[in-house]
Structure 1
Amino acid sequence: MCNVFASQDPSTYASETRAIRLHGHCTSIRLEAAFWRILERIAEVEGTSVSRFLTTLHDEVLARRGEIGNFASLLRVTCLHWLENQDRHAEEVAARRRLAA
């Protein structure tokens, strides 16, 4: 029943810690390798670096909510949200690029 999930490469769920600079402050974020790969894909589509994408996301959530309880969890859910809404995201990116041109 779960062979497709149970047979995945353990490196995909191995934890990976990366140092990220948010507005000049160094912090570390620990996520599974699969999530880092998705964040890299999102940043590529956005035309930016992972670090810049994380900084922008952090700032936008702070502006909307006033706080971020668990940034690593937010990043994991962001990855899932992106996987489920890639078409919508692509439309938003295209609209931003049209406005910038």
Structure 2
Amino acid sequence: MCRIFAGQDPERFRMVTRRVRLSGHSTSVCLEAAFWGALEEIAAMQGVSLGRFLSKLHDEVLARGVERRNFAGLLRCACLTYAQEVKGHRPCVEELEREARTDFAAVAAAILPVGIAASFPAPEKERETA
């Protein structure tokens, strides 16, 4: 049983430190390489860069009144949530994609020049069922 876990490529659990910008402040986040890969997958699924995804997640956590003392831990748990509850569950993936289109299109419209903001896809309107 443990050979599945013990036999994994050591590169997956190599610690990787990256510089990120959160709420306008540059900081370092240290995570295992496998977690960085999962975060990149989540960001790509939402159609944004990893930096933009991390910044948005950080802002949303602060807006909920959660302390940011362990942002790396939050990111690891976000990866677990993604693996356990979202990935492979089409309704969850579709909801996450829909939320991302709405959130990031609104942000783009508010802060980017008109020509660039227009390149973000407009959120789809929910279909009404009769």
TM-score where L is the length of structure 1:
0.89
1:82–1:89 Cα contact (<8 Å) kept: no
Return the structure number with greater helix share.
Answer: 1
List runs of 5+ in structure 2 lacking aligned partners. Answer: 103-121, 125-130
In the alignment, residue 33 of structure 1 is paired with which amino acid? Answer: A
Does 1:73 pair with 2:76?
Answer: no
TM-score where L is the length of structure 2:
0.71
Aligned mates of 1:2, 1:59 — CA distance in 2 = 38
Aligned mates of 2:81, 2:98 — CA distance in 1 = 19
Displacement of 1:65: 2.0
Q: 1:95 aligns with which of 93, 98, 109?
A: 98
Deviations 1:59-95 (A, max 9, x none): 0010012422300000000000000112254121343
Does 1:82 pair with 2:82?
Answer: yes
**Relative contact order, higher structure (CA 8 A, sep 6+):** 1
Identify the residue that residue 21 of structure 1 maps to in structure 2: 21
In the alignment, residue 93 of structure 1 is paired with which amino acid? Answer: L
Displacement of 1:21: 1.0
In the alignment, residue 85 of structure 2 is paired with which amino acid? Answer: N
Aligned mates of 1:80, 1:71 — CA distance in 2 = 14
In the alignment, residue 42 of structure 1 is paired with which amino acid? Answer: I
SS in 2 for 1:60: helix
List runs of 5+ in structure 1 lacking aligned partners. Answer: none
Max Rg structure: 2
Q: Pick closer, same or farther for the CA change 1:89–1:68 going to 2, 3 Å.
A: farther
In the alignment, residue 53 of structure 2 is paired with which amino acid? Answer: F
1:18–1:30 Cα contact (<8 Å) kept: yes
1:20–1:28 Cα contact (<8 Å) kept: yes
The size of the alignment, in residue pairs, is 101
SS in 2 for 1:27: strand
Aligned mates of 1:10, 1:84 — CA distance in 2 = 23
Percentage identity across paired residues of the two chains: 50
